[in-house]
Structure 1
Amino acid sequence: MTEFPRLLHTVLDTTEPRALAEFYRVLLGLRYRPGDEPPADGSPDAPDWLVLTEDDGSRVLAFQLVDRLTPTTWPDHTVPMQLHLDLTVSDAAELERQRERALALGARELVDRTDDPDEPLHVFADLAGHPFCIFVG
């Protein structure tokens, strides 16, 4: 029997791991891996690595501290995307609801393509500038 590597999680570089992890925790309804939660007393922390999981403990995203990060300039290709996340929702009404949530959490909208009858979508940049799409699928 052939064994293949298994994708554990996707890692995003960031100059602020806690802020970016919190953005995606709330946006995607994830939880921190045990031990990665923010300090219970509300004191500041400066982690260099955090992991978010599904309720069953399956890893989804990790966040790695870097000294500097040059955000993509997409749709201009001076600084390419290099990686982006695709997120789907059930219908156009949910697409709009999730757009509002993403913006309220601090995302920046890069493209509004909701008038596309084949694939309505929004492209955003997260707090660190990583692009992600939300579309009906």
Structure 2
Amino acid sequence: MLMKLTAVTLDCADPMALAAFYHRATGIPLADRSDEEFAGLRGADGGLFLGFQRVDGYRPPSWPDQEVPQQLHLDFDVDDLDEATARLVEWGATVPAEQPRPDRWRVVLDPAGHPFCLSIPRGSV
């Protein structure tokens, strides 16, 4: 049996706001929304679906400590770490002080507090 990953869904307080952030960051178009409970982005040609679902009492992860665990994180390749980080901060992301390997990757927190990493594609460094 072979499984194909088709979707990743993140909990949050405001699905449309988080979908808008990731749309700006990735260019993946908005593909789904239902009232204020859910929104999603879908890559080209039926690619990976990135969903955002509203959760009452949502508490963002508290990275790097684990008082509220991160549970998962996303990784994105970028051409320039500094430029990508700056643009994401303009759009509402934050950069935690703790950066385990800032020369190789950057940890960034989306507007709902989910940590994700930016890195230069392997073989480009």
Counterpart for residue 73 of structure 2:
84
For 1:55 and 1:133, locate their aligned partners in 2 and report how far apart those are by CA, in whole Å: 22
For 2:106 and 2:48, locate their aligned partners in 1 and report how far apart those are by CA, in whole Å: 25
For 1:102 and 1:15, locate their aligned partners in 2 and report how far apart those are by CA, in whole Å: 19
Which residue type is aligned with residue 93 of structure 2? A
CA contact (8 A) 2:5 2:48 kept: no
**Are 1:22 and 2:20 an aligned pair?**
yes
Q: State the number of aligned residues.
A: 119
For 2:107 and 2:35, locate their aligned partners in 1 and report how far apart those are by CA, in whole Å: 29
For 1:57 and 1:49, locate their aligned partners in 2 and report how far apart those are by CA, in whole Å: 19
Using the TM superposition, give the Cα deviation of residue 60 of structure 1 relative to its aligned residue in structure 2, in angstroms. Answer: 3.0
Task: Report the TM-score, using the length of structure 2 for normalisation.
Answer: 0.84
Task: Report the TM-score, using the length of structure 1 for normalisation.
Answer: 0.77
Pick the structure with greater CA Rg: 1
CA contact (8 A) 1:18 1:46 kept: no
Deviation readout 1:28-86 (Å, 9 max, x if unpaired): 110011xx37xxxxxxx843122201232323301111112111111112222111111
Counterpart for residue 122 of structure 1:
106
Residue 96 of structure 1: which of 76, 82, 90 is its match?
82
Using the TM superposition, give the Cα deviation of residue 103 of structure 1 relative to its aligned residue in structure 2, in angstroms. Answer: 0.4
Counterpart for residue 36 of structure 2:
47
Which residue type is aligned with residue 27 of structure 1? A
Which residue type is aligned with residue 66 of structure 1? V
Residue 61 of structure 2: which of 55, 67, 72 is its match?
72
Question: Identity over aligned residues, as a percent?
Answer: 38
Unaligned runs of 5+ in 2: none
For 1:136 and 1:125, locate their aligned partners in 2 and report how far apart those are by CA, in whole Å: 18
Runs of 4+ with >6 A deviation: none
Which residue type is aligned with residue 83 of structure 2? R
Unaligned runs of 5+ in 1: 38-44
Which residue type is aligned with residue 85 of structure 2? R
**Are 1:106 and 2:92 an aligned pair?**
yes
CA contact (8 A) 1:89 1:134 kept: yes
